[in-house]
Structure 1
């Protein structure tokens, strides 16, 4: 896992290092500019071989200062450089002004954008630029873009769309208009090919619209130490399973690896629970039992072999079954139904403190019953998608989907943390930017984006398998937070290993290869 850092934490870290005399602002800006140039040439080696034409768009702050450094470095390498500013550069301050002065000493020319579309591109070239760089606003943006700023950025995208050969577009730190902490788009209609950020990635690179706008992401080391942050970082981004050792089986009896009970719905509605159970088995639970209503008993029995089956007619039957303390993890919700039996089963399952995954129908029933939500405990994991989250936590969902007026905008990390505290349990808020949060404030992002994009997971039943993976890891003894984080990673890794054509049934069957690659 890799720690993310907020815009404020990044500013504080830079200020701390500069105040201590360990580095100057100009040195950091020079390193950042060099890092951008190196990242561009690493992504497009052909641009390093033959200098071309580059248009650099600079803003009024340090992001603009980085742009002036990049302009100077590319000019030194033989590039034809046109610099455009959204403000009068004479008003620049500090390190940004110092680098503007250096640039003007070389070429002496900066064109000022005035919001008119006909002024957006250099007219002194016969051919279009080979590279476009956005250094207008970085992590410091706290408000939506005004029309005068948004229009030129939109014109860049329109320009690209009209060209048969589209010049690469690079954003420095974050695309202008993207909230670095939330990934919310505050007015940018441009899509970039590469975003180069410094020291550490920001939450907004992985959340909401961030990945789509950023294109690909490069993190550049500019020589800062790891921050010493007293408050929890906003989240960690999960790059690898959180506890590979936790899923590695050692010698022992099947009950040494846990016994999970997965409850099904009625006849014709058992497929989702069977998918969950298969995931639970494949992730290593020693024993998995399907709890089935009498009417669905023959349907389930005809479909399973290694899983066990037990009749669960009502909540009284479930309570009796749960007297067996060897059953240490429960999974309820996939295909469970929305009837009185399902409601009663959830109530019985929440008695005591067993590790419990609540998914799908169980979440809908929880949203309808405030008293039942009060029975949630810290061994539970809720796994809502966006619609279920909105039913469970309507005020938090409204805050997340509302149009941001100031920054940093409300993020998925923010609302998932609040939901976990309110529910007193772990919440895994599903999506391409899955966020997992615990009541104590810990949070992690598992984003299926960039090199981990797995669009094949948009298939019926994939979420049921995820619920089963969590239940299996709970049965194996992982904590709710750790089980949810690890299951999210395994779920995506299975999809990546399988590739296009994936259906939900393929996920559990791909898991042995993933675990073998982990050395588990």
Structure 2
């Protein structure tokens, strides 16, 4: 069994602005929030990337105001700071913060290279391409210092993570109050570098979160195999049995007490896995001890698959629907509680193009299907029909190998069989799968992922 740990909250630009507005309405002046942000950012810079000399790029808005405040704090700490800006901010509180800076100021096109370059040009409100003057300044400084981005890299969309021009990739991004979705999606990870979240006294309320390490709780002393969860794996086509075997064995290795494969085949991935033909397996759906069912790995959208989906709808057991079974959902949605696990190609076939807003696309899919949808990829996005969203960045490119998704389906099914709710099971399984991928390394295949799972569980 696992205890799901709530991860860091994630916010959109709109949610962050609302949280700041609420804090101001509750009595905290906007200037105080900016002072807190500048002090917290300067402290993080001195802790992570100390330098004797820095150039701070300041824009015309509140992000620029943060930059002036950071320049003041770093200068007070003995850092030689030059601010580069074409004009001071006009609106409060940034204008007041800029007026406090008494050090050198040069135009953007004269921004001097320095060991430390602090990007405070544009914040989370930018939704258009970088202007030509800012882009030229960024291009001149590229490769001429270690870069710290304030709240978000200038030229990165705060919600979608798409690049709006040619951003200056940061080694460190200092996020105020909470990570922004754009830090983690699309171009965000390769531009944001290491992410440091600093508290500025602004509580955030959001339905989005980062997935954190789950905590393993061992079985009770008197537990039997059914207490640990019973998973039924509906096998695909006989000559596609490898996918089903991977999912079944992954479920067993993830802690399920019993795994049964349903189908006419003969191969078993382990002596501990049982097999039943379709008729016998269908009768198992009436057994209250059966905790979850996987359908789809190695499966073709044929008459047998359609028959199984109808049975599973009536049975109401928690389902993991993957691969071939996903194609059938367009014909007849499944009413049973389900986790859908498409990769990008399958998602597009089911729901249309993902577009720039990956989170919105997955949320819409969850709403349409009334299921938890897990969109696989370098950054995994999971959405529930009630609006909750989770993002998993604890992944590895070594997971891009045949059969990796089947292993993930098996892990989810094991957690469902142990009584975890759909959304929480998908989140924890995504983290466990990613951790196995990180431990995997070169030359290994999906079969090795399963062998690594006990090591992952032992490390929790």
Please say whether Structure 1 and Structure 2 have the same fold, judged by a TM-score greater than 0.5.
Answer: yes
Q: How does 1:450-465 map to 2 (within 5 A)?
A: 453-465=395-407
- Deviation readout 1:392-426 (Å, 9 max, x if unpaired): 100xx34x24xxxxxxxx3x222211111100111
What is the CA–CA distance in structure 1 between the aligned matches of 2:221 and 2:332, rounded to whole Å? Answer: 38
Q: What is the CA-CA distance between 1:219 and the residue it aligns to? A: 0.7
**Cross-structure match for 1:178:** 156
**Cross-structure match for 2:427:** 485
Q: What is the CA-CA distance between 1:305 and the residue it aligns to? A: 0.8
Change (3 A) 1:328 1:98: same
Q: What is the CA-CA distance between 1:308 and the residue it aligns to? A: 0.3
Q: How does 1:331-480 map to 2 (within 5 A)?
A: 331-366=294-329, 370-373=330-333, 376-377=334-335, 379-394=337-352, 397-398=353-354, 400-401=355-356, 410=357, 412-448=358-394, 453-480=395-422
Is the 1:266–1:336 contact (alpha carbons within 8 Å) kept by the matching residues of 2?
yes
Is the 2:317–2:336 contact (alpha carbons within 8 Å) kept by the matching residues of 1?
no
**Cross-structure match for 1:238:** 211
**Cross-structure match for 1:167:** 145
Is the 1:234–1:413 contact (alpha carbons within 8 Å) kept by the matching residues of 2?
no
Q: What is the CA-CA distance between 1:500 and the residue it aligns to? A: 4.4
Query: RMSD of aligned C-alpha atoms?
Result: 2.3
**Cross-structure match for 2:244:** 273
Change (3 A) 1:200 1:189: closer
What is the CA–CA distance in structure 1 between the aligned matches of 2:117 and 2:274, rounded to whole Å? Answer: 61
What is the CA–CA distance in structure 2 between the aligned matches of 1:319 and 1:142, rounded to whole Å? Answer: 53
| Equivalent residue in structure 2 for 1:259, among 224, 230, 234 | 230
What is the CA–CA distance in structure 2 between the aligned matches of 1:202 and 1:248, rounded to whole Å? Answer: 37
| Equivalent residue in structure 1 for 2:273, among 307, 310, 315 | 307
Q: What is the CA-CA distance between 1:477 and the residue it aligns to? A: 1.4
What is the CA–CA distance in structure 2 between the aligned matches of 1:150 and 1:220, rounded to whole Å? Answer: 27
**Cross-structure match for 2:137:** 152
Q: What is the CA-CA distance between 1:92 and the residue it aligns to? A: 1.7
Query: Per the alignment, in what secondary structure is the counterpart of residue 246 of structure 2?
Result: helix
Is the 2:154–2:168 contact (alpha carbons within 8 Å) kept by the matching residues of 1?
no
5+ residue gaps, structure 1, are 114-118, 123-127, 161-165, 402-409
| Equivalent residue in structure 2 for 1:504, among 440, 446, 449 | 446
TM-score, L = length of structure 1: 0.81
Q: How does 1:8-27 map to 2 (within 5 A)?
A: 8-21=14-27, 23-27=28-32
1:88 is the counterpart of 2:87: yes
What is the CA–CA distance in structure 2 between the aligned matches of 1:216 and 1:112, rounded to whole Å? Answer: 29
Change (3 A) 1:173 1:248: farther
Q: What is the CA-CA distance between 1:471 and the residue it aligns to? A: 0.9
Q: What is the CA-CA distance between 1:324 and the residue it aligns to? A: 4.0
Count matched residues. Answer: 454
Is the 1:257–1:284 contact (alpha carbons within 8 Å) kept by the matching residues of 2?
yes
5+ residue gaps, structure 2, are 1-6
